[in-house]
Structure 1
Amino acid sequence: MKKILVLLLVLLVTTGMVFAQGAKEGEKKQLMGVVTPSADHGFTAESIQHSEAQVKALSAEYGFDYRFMTAAESSEQSNAVETILGMNPDVIVLWPVNGDELRSVAQTVMDAGVPLIVYDRFIQGLTPDAEISGDNVAIGEGAGRYFNEYFKEDLAKGQVNYLEFKGDSSSVPMERTNGFLSTASPKFNLVQSFVTNWSQQTAMEQMENFLNTKSKAEIESIKAIWT
C-alpha cells in the first residue's frame, strides 16, 4: 500500500510541474481538486494525511491552488466533486468510496474536459485519464496459493470450510476475492461472507455473532478465515 501512495505522490509532483508551467501563462492560478474517503481506518487516515501534506507542499512550490475534500459516503463525495467542478479546476484526483456509485459524477468531470485521476478503487465502465492502484487480483491469487499449500493435508482429505471478511463492496475487495477464487482449490467451501466496512470493531462483532449463533460442530468445521 505504501508503494501505491508513493506512486500517487509522484503523479501529484508531475501534475504540479505542469501546473507551474501553466500558471506563468495566465493570471488565474490553476486549481487541483482532490476528493478522498473519510479517515475510517488506518490506511485511509495515513494516506489522507500524507497526500494532503504533499498537495500543500506542491501548491506552495509551484504556485497553484487546491481544494482537498473528504467524505464518508458516495453521495457526499459526489457533492464534493460537483463543488470542485464548479470552481473550474484543471485536474481532479478522485479516491472513490465506491466506484460504481461515483460513475455518474466522474463522467461529468470527463465530459467537462477536466483531466480525471482515479486512485485505489476503480470505476467499472469508465476510462479516466489515469488510474493508480495496487494489483488486487494478484493479492488474491497469492492468498489462494498460500491457502493451497498451508491446507495441503486437509485438502487431500476433502472439503475445507472457511469464512470471508471483506472490507466493503468496492472493486478492491471484489478483485481480491476473484483472484483468490482463481487459484484456491475448489475444495475450499465458503460458509459465510461478511462485509466489515473496513472496521475492526464491526468485524469483531460479526465474528462474535457467528460464534454465538452457530453450533459447536459448525464452529469447529471452520478451518480458515480469508480477510
Structure 2
Amino acid sequence: MSWLRFLLQLATVALAYFVASIPPILLFGKTNAGMLGSVVLSMVAALVVARFWLSRDGCLKHAWSLRPPENISRTLALAALGTGVIIALFAVGAAVIDALGLPPIDVSMVLAYVTQGPISFMLWVVLVAWFAAGLGEELLYRGFLLDRLMRLRGMRGRKWPAAIIQAALFGLPHLYQGWGGVLVTASIGLFLAWLRFANRGNLWACILAHGAVDTIMLSLAYSQSLGWLR
C-alpha cells in the first residue's frame, strides 16, 4: 500500500467521524442525548468508511478478525490480563504524570453525563463503554489502522513500528483529557496492540478488556456520585 492511499483512507475515516459527530449536537445541544448521539453516530460513520476501504482492498476478514476464538479459555484469560494491565497503566500513568508536572487526567466532562441518573449510566455503559469504545475503537485502531500500517510500503509486516504509530494516533483524540490523558491512552493503545498479537490477530481479547475497563471506570464514578464510595 502506498502512503498516499493510506493517508486518503485515514483522512476519509477521520472526516466521516468528525462530520457525523455534528448533527446530534446541533439537534440536541450538549445535552446527554446530544453527546451520546454524537459519540455513537460518529463511530458508526467511521466504521462504515473503514469497512468500505478494507473490503475494497480484500482485507476485511484479516483486519477485523472477529471469528469465534479457537481457544476461548485463552482469549478470556488474555482479556482478564488485559483488564488488569490497563487498570495498572492508569495507576502508573497517574504517578508519571504527577512526576512530570502535568495536570491530572480530566474526564469530568464525560462523567458529568454518566452520573446524571441510572438510565444515563446504563446508556453510557452500553453505547459508549461497549459499543463506541470496546467494539468501535478496537475495530478502528487495532483493526483498520494497525492493518493499514502493516501493509504500508517500507513497513510491511513490521509489527512494532505500526503498533507505535497507531498508539500515538489513538492517544491524540483524547487531548480533551489533557496531555497526561494522551500519554496514558497511547501507552494503553500500545499494550492493546500487543494483546492482539498475543491472541493471534483475533480482536476479542482487546474488545473484552477495553469494554470491561471502561465499564469499571464508569461504575466507580457513578458509585462515587451516589456516595457509595469515597
TM more than 0.5: no
Task: Look at both structures and tell me which one has the larger radius of gyration over its CA atoms.
Answer: 1
Highest RCO, 1 vs 2 (Cα 8 Å, sep ≥ 6) = 2
Pick the structure with more helix per residue: 2
Structure that is richer in strand per residue: 1
- TM-score, reference length from structure 1: 0.27
